[in-house]
Structure 1
Amino acid sequence: MKKLTVFLLSVFSISGAFAEEQLVELSLPSMNCAVCPITIKKALEKVEGVHFVEVTYKTKLATVKFENTVTSIDDLISVTTNAGFPSTLKSEASND
């Protein structure tokens, strides 16, 4: 049992080493009111692996930091689209 516990801890430590946070900006051209960012932010914050969301009406952008081993850019785009705000990827960068 002790060997199994040590093995499992090793596996989880190694898999955690490969997790990578990613920072992306999504363009949301269909935002047309000051309440839209609240709706979009709430939708994105529900996504597993998302650690930070900022949505700005003035620039029509959402900045999202997420764990790319848990979710993907396509998932984020689907979430905004399902919330009524189709988005496209504006920029991305690794953020180790």
Structure 2
Amino acid sequence: MKKIATLLALSAALSAPAWAATQAVTLSIPGMTCGACPITVRTALKRVPGVETVGIDEAQKQVIVTYDDSKTNVQALTQATKDAGYPSSVKQ
């Protein structure tokens, strides 16, 4: 009986990536200072595979990104904004 429970637990742990879910992260982008900046940031983030939505709050200089965590991660998102000329960090 213990062997079956162990095998089931191991099977669930190994198949966890198949259970990927939509995640959301808020990125702070202090360099987003003009009207064209949000367009550039949105375009850069939308090009990252797995990104579902990009919501921009220009007044707070932040973006909220929803993404499929089986296809991308926060590091890829911050790298995309950096590559576009707008370094970002995760807002705590």
TM-score after normalising by structure 1: 0.75
Structure with the higher fraction of residues in strand conformation: 1
**Pair 1:36 & 2:68 matched:** no
CA deviations 1:13-62 (Å, max 9, x no partner) are x7785111101100001111011001000110111100000122111001
Instruction: Give the whole-Å Cα distance in 2 for the aligned partners of 1:55 and 1:67.
Output: 18
In structure 1, the partner of 2:55 is 54
Instruction: Give the whole-Å Cα distance in 1 for the aligned partners of 2:91 and 2:17.
Output: 28
Extract unaligned runs of 5+ from structure 2: 1-14
Extract unaligned runs of 5+ from structure 1: 1-13, 92-96
In structure 2, the partner of 1:80 is 81
The number of residue pairs the alignment matches comes to 78
Note if contact 1:77-1:86 (Cα within 8 Å) is conserved in structure 2: yes
TM-score after normalising by structure 2: 0.78
Whose Rg is larger? 2
Identity %: 37
Q: CA RMSD in A?
A: 1.6
